[in-house]
Structure 1
Amino acid sequence: MKRDVSARIVLNVTEAADLVFAIAVSSAYAPTSERFSATLDGTSIDYRELSDAHGTRLHRIEAQPGELVVEYAATIEGAAEPAPATDTDLLVYGRPSRYAESDALAPTAVAEFDGLTGSAELLAAVSSWVGTRLAYVSGSSLPTDGAVRTLLARQGVCRDYSHLSVALLRALGIPARLVAVYAPGLSPMDFHAVAEAWVDGAWRVVDATTLAPRQTLVRIATGRDAADTAFLNIISGRADLGDVTVSAVADSLPNDDITQLVSIT
């Protein structure tokens, strides 16, 4: 499968800022072409690339006041190997985290899903349960909302759906995490977030929004929740987001069945 992805982010930097972007595809891929650039008021500026333990590629930029434009594009042909997991990973992703409060949601998880025997059956049940209890409403949630508040509000966007899925799965003893992705087939197009659960010896995708086929997803960042996977972190200074444009296209869009186990490759 061939996938073309790109992103363009425009920021108005009003105070010298230290910025970290997570928009490049994971190091698990070997793009046939790739480009990253950063300009301030039309002039190229330097950046540093960093990587974390899961292959997330971070671009750190120190920018003076002005209009900062960051652009990325890549073409991927074929697939990456399925992501591995260490014993430490499975421990970390079994714990509650800032936006996935599995301890608080444990009674709900047990009441709704106790007795399900098959791992694929459980993932499909969680995906369906979250998808039918939340309404997808753009702009409905705050950046600080976690799974508990999402469930109470009964609405959210992709990161909220994923946080709730992650929290419920962890509460049931299944390691789960959040993944930021490019999602061919998504409409309207944007960065997308899905959950991954460790089932039958592999990370399996849970996307309760069902807005894009899981088979086409391209991994960007992986972590406990949105705190680890945001496309932009402002470490210091001030920058106002002006515009975000995302594109993700695949040469085929397969039909997706939530009862089937799918991994990001």
Structure 2
Amino acid sequence: MKRDVGAELDVEITAPTTLEFQIAVAPQPGAAVTESLSFILNGKEIPAADIQEITGEHGNRIHKFEAPVGNLKATYSASVVGQAEPAPLRDIDLSTYLRPSRYAEADKFYGFAATEFGEFADSATLLEKVSSWVGTRLSYVPGSSDPIDGAADTLLAGAGVCRDYAHLVIAVLRAVNVPARLVSVYAPGCQPMDFHAVAEAFVDGQWRVADATCLAPRQSMVRIATGRDAADTAFLDNHKGSINLNNMVVTATVDGELPRDSVDQLVSIR
């Protein structure tokens, strides 16, 4: 499988700031990756020496730099040939990803989740049931949620976008003792095309992906960043100053036909 992914962001900086981008794919051991990344500020490319690449948890790649007032254009492209090895497991993950977090407040769902899903014992069944339940309970409505909304807000609203679906899946899974986390991905076939967010749960000895939106086949997704929730995986963070995102274009394609997906399959991001 060959996957071509990329992103172009046009950012207006209205007050000097520090920017952090998470748009580059995570390390893909076992797959061949060619990529390019550039930042053009006021018509001039920012030198590589002025950009700090920070490696976060799970290989998240954060590109950080100081930016004065002006127009910034960020451009990233990558080709991924083959499939990466399954995501590794650390002992701490099975603790971290059972805890409540900023947008996946599992502690608010203990009683509710026990009532809705208490009859299911094994994690594979829970993953399928929770993902399907969220997919039918919510309506995908762009612009319907606020960036600060958590899983409880999403459940009450009954609508959201991909990150909202993922947060609700994660919160409910954690509430029934299944470790779960959020992954930002490039998702070939996704409509509308954008940076996509999915849930990932530890099931049958591996991290398995759940996409309650069913907007793209899971088999062709490419990992960008992994974390507790969207607070750890944002494609752009702004510290100190002020910015406006003028435009963003995300692309993700496969060479050939898209894989066929079914919600009852156990799939890993590779």
- 1:80–1:188 Cα change, 3 Å: same
Moved more, 23-32 or 246-255: 23-32
| 1:202 positional shift | 0.5
Counterpart amino acid of 2:243? A
Counterpart amino acid of 1:257? S
**3-state SS of the aligned residue for 2:240?**
strand
Residue 199, structure 1, aligned to residue 203, structure 2? yes
Distance 1:84 1:242 in 2: 37
Counterpart amino acid of 1:14? T
| 1:56 positional shift | 0.6
**3-state SS of the aligned residue for 1:84?**
coil
Counterpart amino acid of 1:34? E
Query: TM-score when scaled to structure 2?
Result: 0.96
Distance 1:141 1:188 in 2: 16
Moved more, 79-88 or 210-219: 79-88
Distance 1:62 1:26 in 2: 23
| 1:53 positional shift | 2.5
Gaps of 5+ in 2: none
Q: Which runs of 4+ in 1 moved over 3 A?
A: 29-32
Gaps of 5+ in 1: none
Counterpart amino acid of 1:226? A
Distance 1:221 1:53 in 2: 9
1:39: which partner in 2?
Answer: 40
2:28: which partner in 1?
Answer: 28
**3-state SS of the aligned residue for 1:98?**
coil
Query: TM-score when scaled to structure 1?
Result: 0.98
2:177: which partner in 1?
Answer: 173
Distance 1:53 1:166 in 2: 18
| 1:109 positional shift | 0.8
**1:115-264 counterparts in 2 under 5 A?**
115-251=119-255, 252-264=257-269
Identity fraction in percent:
57
Residue 64, structure 1, aligned to residue 68, structure 2? yes
1:4: which partner in 2?
Answer: 4
Aligned residues: 265
| 1:31 positional shift | 4.3
**3-state SS of the aligned residue for 1:87?**
coil
Task: Give the root-mean-square deviation of aligned CA atoms.
Answer: 1.0
Q: Residues 196-243 of structure 1: CA distance to partner in whole angstroms, max 9, x if unpaired?
A: 000111100011000000000000000000000000011221111111
